[in-house]
A and B are shown apart, each in its own frame.
Chain A
Amino acid sequence: MDNLIISRRRRFRRHLQSELGEEDYLSNLPDELLHHILSFLPTLDSIRTSVLARRWRHVWTSVPVIDFSYLPLKSSIIDRFLASRGGDSFSRLHFTGLRRVDRENVVYKLVEYAKSHDAQHVTLLDFFFEQCRLSLFDLLFDWPSLVSLDLRVVGCKSRTLSKCIFRLNNLKTLSLALPENTIRNESLAKLLSGCPVLEELKLNADYLWDDELIQIEAPNLLRLTLIPTPTNLQINCQKLEYLRLNPDFSFMYLHVEAPSLTSVRLYNIWRFRTFAHTVCDVTAVAIILSDECLSGFSPKFLARWYDEDFDEWEKSSSSRINEPLEPLEHLERVSVNMKSKRIRSAFLKTLSDRVPTWDRAVVSY
């Protein structure tokens, strides 16, 4: 063991005392460092470094990042680029479109190239995805090497995910924004089971009007953001640490099984009691509440303290609302952001009645 330490020490000392070369120019930096520098640049700039000096002629072809964001590139340019770049692997594709119709399938070509070169991180934002023969989703959602995907499409009303096959065995981070695209629980379940190691999910999609129960079950999920939030939601994620929801007026049912939950951001949470019922076993919770929509209304969860009639509608929904609240034994930190002092202090009083260790909790607002 000692020998290992001594030889390591020798190696580091040698590194520090190694021969001074002649005047070192930027070009004498190792290849990886040059790649690292160029990976910060838009790809067009990176390609242009090929004319700087001999040392730089082919450096750009091995830069592990492709970034053509915000450029209305001709399809032929992409073809030339892909041919010139050749076969070096790369890891990150970044493409933000201009919301214009992609008549020549520039995006498809880039994605196909990325996939065949085992790219791991793909960002595709704001590109127009009209009905087209080629299925980009089929390409994107069956990708063994993909580790993170950030996808935001526009103009995709008629596409649903119901026919997709999801095979993303290495996917850890997924951000999916499909506004105006409805997603059914069945598709969501297929998506989740196709991403066994998923740790972070951000989903922006519409849910059908029939208030179908949406179930999120993902054994490795650590962070979940669902905005907009389905009206009936069930979450069963044993490792979940961070949850962010923004339910609207019609929000009805929430059940959360998440024993590791530590940070919750609830915007416009009308039914706090519903939420609180289901996380009373949580060890530590930070609650951030924001009430931009509350002016003029008082949140339903405070109805106990005010002389208000319950809505008929509220009476007919889950009877759990009328059960006594269970104590939140482990609440440690509360952060409240509410404009109305009256509502804020009423809310804090609600909590203080429920939390046996309230005097030890840290409250900030």
Chain B
Amino acid sequence: MGKTIKLISGDGEMFEVEEAVAFQSNIIKSLADEDNADDCIPLPRVDSQILSKVLEFCRKHANSPSVHTKFAAIPSELCPKHDGSAAGASSSESSSAHSETCRACYDAVMKLVQWDLEFVKVDLDLIHHLLKAANYLDIEDLMFMAVEGAANAIRGNNPEEIRKLFDLENDFTPEEEKEILKEYSWLDDPFEP
């Protein structure tokens, strides 16, 4: 195991993970970048159940290219095929991005996307917590997936269902509600015959 980082969840549980995993969080990365290597980093706003889910995500993404990087910009170190044993070790390849025609990279990223989509096919309470955790810890890929999960939950559902899914309270007065429905009445019949 390489260098590790210690994290403490809101309910007092300690998680020790590899740097590459913890550094998916930009906040943790910036903090650990300094010389207080033995400190534990407390995360009071994330409890252990959520933190372990988050770390599961980070572990999967630790040594993969971000799904949002364009293929052409993926550094060759991260390619599953060209693991430093590329023929000739040509200098033009060394640490620059390698060709976007690399099939191995494409497959790896697609697999990761599939895994991510499965990861967020969970109940909305969890998505909601993941969203907050990703926001709090600044984990780009997790944020992206949680947002997509939240959007999928809203899409196509009527307001009652959405409120139930997200535990939202309808705090409009009956008059306000009538006013809004009138304001947006044009939405009732939007399509050409």
Contact = CB atoms under 8 A, between A and B. Distances in A.
Given A44-B187, A242-B72, A53 B169 contact: yes
Contacts of A12: 27, 30-31
A74 B72 CA distance: 42
Interface string B155-193: 110110011001111111000110011011011011110
Contact of B186 (A18, A51, A76, A265): A76
A77 B147 contact: no
Contact of B131 (A29, A333, A362): A29
Contact of A29 (B93, B135, B191): B135
| Of listed B87, B170, B189, B190, residue having the most chain A CB within 10 A | B190
Contacts of A80: 186
Contacts of B101: 263, 265, 286, 288, 335
Interface in A48-88: 48-54, 56-57, 71-74, 76-77, 80, 84
Interface residues of B, number: 56
A16 B177 contact: no
B55 interface: no
A18 B190 CA distance: 46
Interface string A271-304: 0000000000001101010000000000000000
Nearest to B39: A13
B44 interface: yes
Contacts of B147: 33, 36-37, 40
Interface in A290-339: 332-333, 335
A269 to B, nearest CB: 16
Contacts of A51: 159, 172, 177, 180-181, 184
Contacts of B162: 49, 52
A41 B87 contact: no
B113 interface: no
B42 A71 contact: no
B150 A20 contact: no
Interface footprint category on A: 35 or more
A161 to B, nearest CB: 29
B154 A41 contact: yes
Contacts of B159: 48-49, 51-52
| Of listed A26, A74, A333, residue having the most chain B CB within 10 A | A26
B92 A332 contact: yes
B117 to A, nearest CB: 13
B155 A33 contact: no
B151 A242 contact: no
Nearest to A362: B87
A71 B132 CA distance: 34
A41 B155 contact: yes
Nearest to A49: B154
Contact of B128 (A26, A42, A47): A26
B41 interface: yes
A27 interface: yes
Contact of A9 (B34, B88, B158, B170): B34
Interface of B: 10, 27, 30-31, 34, 41-45, 72, 86-88, 90, 92-93, 99-101, 128, 131-132, 135-136, 147-148, 150-152, 154-156, 158-159, 162-163, 166-172, 176-177, 180-181, 183-184, 186-187, 189-192
Given A13-B31, A263-B101, 8 more contacts: A12-B27, A25-B169, A26-B168, A40-B147, A52-B159, A77-B187, A361-B87, A361-B88
Interface of A: 5, 8-9, 12-13, 15-18, 20, 24-27, 29-30, 33, 36-38, 40-42, 44-45, 47-54, 56-57, 71-74, 76-77, 80, 84, 241-242, 262-263, 265, 283-284, 286, 288, 332-333, 335, 357, 360-362
Closest CB pairs A-B (n = 6): A40-B151, A360-B88, A26-B166, A80-B186, A72-B192, A77-B190
